Structure 1
Amino acid sequence: MTLDRLQAHYGFTRTPFGKALAPSMLHRHTAHAEAVARIGWCITERALGVVTGEVGAGKTVAVRAALANLDPSRHTTIYLGNPAVGGRGLYGGIVTALGGEPRFHKAALIPQTVELLAAEEHERGRTVVLILDEAHLLTSDQLEELRLLTNADMDSHSPFACLLIGQPTLRRRIKLGTFAALDQRIALRYTLTAMSDTETKSYLAHHLTLAGRSDPLFSDDATALIHQVGRGTPRAINNLAVQALVAAYAAGKAIVDETSARAAVTEVTTE
């Protein structure tokens, strides 16, 4: 079945529940809005922040929305999404993003990184925003390297804003005694919680409206089941909603009822 046929069946103007949404089109449920606001504060303060949440909770989406609010002429964003690069890779990624050629020896690479971060601030008047995604996979050495990198001007000044984005294990790891020095530097801690049942209903309606349907397309029973199984996490709800639409289409139904939602649950949970 092609997406074109699905869109034609429901009268969609675009495929609903897709990832390619502009920040202004994102659903503003409570946890998302609060995460965006707190991330913005962290960047303004050039602080170190930790944002955690379960898989699919919308952590990266919230970061993207917060970055969209920044003045690009005054901020330089560095996004590192793969922690499996070691300590040297962390420095190298920053140097490369700032237009430098990473020096071979780590002893030279560290001051090079510090110099480029300082130049971005003092010579170009820009705040560097370093985003480390999947940060729960960072090694102990990488976390220590990060602490050293934030230790500028004898702790009197922060050279950049840094956000560690990861699963709940990240928060627990940093609380270990071996990371006490890093833990003390964290100015922002935020856990992205799941949507409530009311927010899930609003979330579904929002995405359907973006696709050209402002009328109720999911029955209350179907919505409740999708919320329960998806546990209020946007990614899981997206997957279930799309499969439910497919199931309803296959059954020739005009709306997504509980039977279609149960078919979607079976499809998604048995993959």
Structure 2
Amino acid sequence: MIDRVQGYYGFTRIPFGRDLAPSMLHQHHSHKEAAARIAWCINHRAIGVFTGEVGAGKTVAVKGAVSSLDPARFTVIYQPNPEAGMRGLYDLIVTSLGGTPKYHFAALAAQASAALAAEVDERGRTPALVLDESHLLDHQRLDAIRMLTNYDMDSTTPFAVLLVGQPTLRKKMKHGVLAALEQRIAVSYQLPTMTKDETASYVKHHLTIAGRSDVLFSDDAIDLIHSTSRGLPRSVNNIAWQSLIAAFTEQKSIVDESSARAAVTETVATE
């Protein structure tokens, strides 16, 4: 089916996919704003909290920001799985920076801290810890991350920390036991959903990089996709692709409102 849809509409690649190079990402306002704040946070070795609804494009914004970093000056350490715990994080830090993790937990924690400092002091590169799905971290682990940033009698931090997660992370940070961590947060940004105009631009962008620069979705189809998706990029991707399939099934040259409505029905039924 995918090949047939691609051939029917003359796509050079499948649109609305996730396998896009950073240079091909859609640059709507909130994405640019998030990427700028992430870059500032990394450059200033600060702690930042970046939240958004499921499918809002948080990881995409991080991907866009870190892709512009000079690898000779920055080392990005990405942890997508909070269930790995602090041992998993310490292991990742040490191995990412070229070391062999120690067995005992206390020694491993000290080793990870030393490796982060050495990356700056000896190699001149700023490490950036990107902790995805951070809303799943408990208070103890969040405070352990804060303790990891202690360096040189707490006067400086040798690396940046990006806590990326769903909006519940912001509420969790207000808990009294995390006051010391909250006070260190230099950047806090809630990624908003796309406006209707941004959704239209987003759809057009993905079609363009797939080889179609002409009008393929009607205005009322875009309106329905936006209202149903609430401007969440991942949901826009799903509904737009299902709309193409629905239009292809009826051999339409334009994805109209009825095709989009069929896609909405299909998408809701499978969720």
Same fold per superposition (TM over 0.5) = yes
Once the two structures are superposed, the pairs formed by residues 223-234 of structure 1 within 5 Å of their partners are 223-234=222-233
The Cα offsets for residues 88-135 of structure 1, whole Å up to 9 and x where unpaired, read as 222222112212222121221121111111111111111101100000
Check the 8 A contact 1:46/1:162 in 2, yes or no: yes
**Residue 257 of structure 2 is aligned to residue 255 of structure 1:** no
Question: Residue in 1 aligned with 2:62?
Answer: 63
SS at match of 1:244: helix
Question: Residue in 1 aligned with 2:218?
Answer: 219
Question: Residue in 1 aligned with 2:170?
Answer: 171
Q: Write the letter of the residue equivalent to 2:99.
A: G
Which has the larger displacement, 6-15 or 54-63? 6-15
CA distance in 1, matches of 2:235, 2:79: 24
**Residue 71 of structure 2 is aligned to residue 72 of structure 1:** yes
SS at match of 2:254: coil
Matched pairs, number: 270
CA distance in 1, matches of 2:136, 2:69: 28
The Cα offsets for residues 14-69 of structure 1, whole Å up to 9 and x where unpaired, read as 11011111111111111000001110000110000000000000000000000011
**Residue 28 of structure 2 is aligned to residue 8 of structure 1:** no
Check the 8 A contact 1:90/1:142 in 2, yes or no: no
Once the two structures are superposed, the pairs formed by residues 230-241 of structure 1 within 5 Å of their partners are 230-241=229-240
The Cα offsets for residues 170-208 of structure 1, whole Å up to 9 and x where unpaired, read as 011011111000000100000110000011001111111
Q: Write the letter of the residue equivalent to 1:152.
A: Y
Check the 8 A contact 1:77/1:129 in 2, yes or no: yes
Question: Residue in 2 aligned with 1:138?
Answer: 137
Which has the larger displacement, 135-144 or 93-102? 93-102
Identity score, percent: 61
**Residue 234 of structure 2 is aligned to residue 269 of structure 1:** no
Q: Write the letter of the residue equivalent to 2:169.
A: L
SS at match of 1:103: coil
Q: Write the letter of the residue equivalent to 1:63.
A: V
CA distance in 1, matches of 2:175, 2:99: 35
CA distance in 1, matches of 2:230, 2:145: 34
CA distance in 2, matches of 1:15, 1:156: 50
CA distance in 1, matches of 2:116, 2:253: 56
Report the alpha carbon displacement of residue 87 of structure 1 after superposing the two structures with TM. 2.2
Q: Write the letter of the residue equivalent to 2:21.
A: A
SS at match of 1:270: helix
Question: Residue in 2 aligned with 1:103?
Answer: 102
CA distance in 1, matches of 2:85, 2:257: 48
SS at match of 2:69: coil
Check the 8 A contact 1:117/1:160 in 2, yes or no: yes
CA distance in 1, matches of 2:84, 2:24: 34
Root-mean-square deviation (CA), in Å? 0.9
**5+ long unaligned stretches in structure 1:** none
CA distance in 2, matches of 1:89, 1:140: 17
CA distance in 2, matches of 1:240, 1:179: 39
TM-score (norm: length of structure 2): 0.98
Once the two structures are superposed, the pairs formed by residues 137-156 of structure 1 within 5 Å of their partners are 137-156=136-155
CA distance in 2, matches of 1:54, 1:65: 18
Which has the larger displacement, 18-27 or 57-66? 18-27
**Residue 26 of structure 2 is aligned to residue 21 of structure 1:** no
SS at match of 1:63: helix
**5+ long unaligned stretches in structure 2:** none
CA distance in 2, matches of 1:239, 1:86: 32
Question: Residue in 2 aligned with 1:120?
Answer: 119
